[in-house]
Chains A and B, each alone.
Chain A
Amino acid sequence: MANWVPLWLHRLSSPPVFYRFAGAVRPWALGLALLLGGVALYGGLFVAPADYQQGDAYRIIFIHVPSAWMSLFIYGAMAIAAFIGLVWRIKLAETVAMESAPVGAAFTLITLVTGSLWGKPMWGTWWTWDARLTSELVLLFIYLGIVGLYHSFEDRRQGARAASFLVLVGAVNVPIVHFSVNWWNTLHQGSTVRLLGPSHIDASMLWPLLTMMAATKLYYVASLFARVRADFIVAESGKGWVRDLALNTPGNDAA
């Protein structure tokens, strides 16, 4: 087998190469995310039938559930990147971990806000101290702690390493959030979509949900790549490739 895959990955971890790669991928990811998101919203808001029990109010799941998935998925991705960054000291992995945190925090906030908007008509309350809700709130605090720790250091890479360590320490919370619905039977409903086995949800409601899930993943990629590009420009501002980038005419830059 050819060893071009590790070679390509190795080259990709260099900031100028990744900058160009991310610049090429980002518009496609963002465009596809908007397209799929639009299709999913149309499917969820107009095509899917009203729920027999919750009426039209259930439609907020097309925002709420994909955001909740992303809040955990991004933490997982961030933890893997943080581990790689701490062990092999790859600058790209550290940057990816640190720039994932604000995106993850945003999705967690969306989950909490849409959840409380949904909770008011369904449960009659904006907020309750339910295990799922509380652990999601704690997840938001973890994200904010990571962002705060990263920015409290003078030296960016030192801050990235310290915050990466906090990512790994805080990872104990992720399984608690994930399983909280099964472990504590409180107000929040159990999971209805299964990876293995049949889902407890009608196909007409499932496809917009899964499409929105793909859209949020792509949006994460687009947002992350934009953030990483900006971060590299700041971190490498003394390097030659950034100077070339800045001095070139806009139509001729590396992106």
Chain B
Amino acid sequence: MTPGSTPAACAALLRRDLTLAWRRRGDIAMPVLYAVIVATLFPFALGPEPALLARIAGGVVLVTVVLAILLSLDNLFRGDIEDGSMELLMLAPQPLALLVGVKILAHWIVSSLPLIVVAPLLASMLKLPAPAMPVLVATLALATPLLCLLGAILVALTAESRRSGMLLALMLLPLCVPVVIFAAGAVAAAQDGLPWVAPVAWLGAGLVLALVLAPLACAAALRIAMDS
């Protein structure tokens, strides 16, 4: 890779974001800890009856992961905007959408991969039957990048606003409803021994669409937010 070329810039940005995340390893553990704590609240609230827990396990893990991603999204662009590197990214000769896409990829690796790793553990704590486990991991592998991409657009919009935490939840909920429906549908179907390929395929289709459109939308939203 020649220095200054687009692939080199993307690789450098990815390396930088991952390094920054690695230097603050404690922050990586936060979404995972949050998911574990929220998931353990359900048996306390609903009672430890295994049949009931098995019934809700898939949905609980999905909602927990959505909430953990929602919380982690808030600092997707914050650091870069505060220290001014976002302006430099916008002035870079490489297309902003591509660089933003790389940043979202880095964020997904840092925040969502640990969640996917820990999800089977949470699901087995909640007595999810073993045959549904691979389907849960597969839906999470498709649903988490989709949520990160959708969320990134909204984070970019609120980047410069005063209060964004609660607002982000209000804005992300309508967009993540279809994702949750299809993901939970696939897990529930696998649990009942029904074919589960169709909802997973819908998630995949949504992910492909978001991969193409979301970075462009995100770049446009950042330009709007950073206008002043």
Smallest Cβ distance from A132 to chain B, in angstroms? 14
- Interface secondary structure of B, over-half rule: helix
A145 vs B168: C-alpha distance when bound (angstroms)? 8
Residues of B within 8 A of A144 (CB): 170
Q: Is the CB of B177 within 8 A of A138?
A: yes
Q: Is the CB of B174 within 8 A of A142?
A: yes
Size range of the chain B interface in the assembly? 20 to 34
Q: Which of A134, A139, A148, A162 meets B170, CB within 8 Å?
A: A148
Given A162-B157, A165-B157, A165-B224, does the pair A152, B164 have CB atoms closer than 8 Å? yes
Residues of B within 8 A of A148 (CB): 167, 170-171
Q: Is the CB of B173 within 8 A of A162?
A: no
Asked if B49 is at the interface (CB within 8 A of a chain A CB), the reply is no
Cross-chain pair count, CB within 8 angstroms: 66
Which has the most chain B C-beta neighbours within 10 Å: A138, A158, A162? A162
A139 vs B220: C-alpha distance when bound (angstroms)? 23
Q: Which of B157, B158, B160, B173 meets A138, CB within 8 Å?
A: B173
Size range of the chain A interface in the assembly? 20 to 34
Q: Is the CB of B161 within 8 A of A162?
A: yes
Residues of A within 8 A of B220 (CB): 165
A13 vs B175: C-alpha distance when bound (angstroms)? 33
Residues of A within 8 A of B170 (CB): 141, 144-145, 148
Q: Which of B154, B161, B171 meets A159, CB within 8 Å?
A: B161
B178's closest neighbor in chain A, by CB?
A176
Q: Which of A152, A170, A173 meets B161, CB within 8 Å?
A: A152
Given A141-B173, A169-B153, does the pair A162, B225 have CB atoms closer than 8 Å? yes
A173 vs B175: C-alpha distance when bound (angstroms)? 8
Residues of B within 8 A of A134 (CB): 177
Q: Is the CB of B224 within 8 A of A170?
A: no
**A143-172 vs B, Cβ < 8 Å mask (1 yes, 0 no):** 011001100111100110111011001101
Q: Is the CB of B157 within 8 A of A158?
A: no
Asked if B162 is at the interface (CB within 8 A of a chain A CB), the reply is yes
A158 vs B158: C-alpha distance when bound (angstroms)? 11
Smallest Cβ distance from B227 to chain A, in angstroms? 6
Which has the most chain A C-beta neighbours within 10 Å: B161, B163, B220? B161
Question: Which residues in B have some Cβ–Cβ distance to A below 8 Å?
Answer: 153-154, 157-158, 160-164, 167, 170-171, 173-175, 177-178, 217, 220-221, 224-225, 227-228
Given A145-B174, A159-B161, 10 other A-B residues pairs in contact with their CB atoms under 8 A: A141-B174, A152-B162, A154-B162, A158-B224, A158-B228, A162-B157, A162-B225, A165-B221, A166-B171, A172-B175
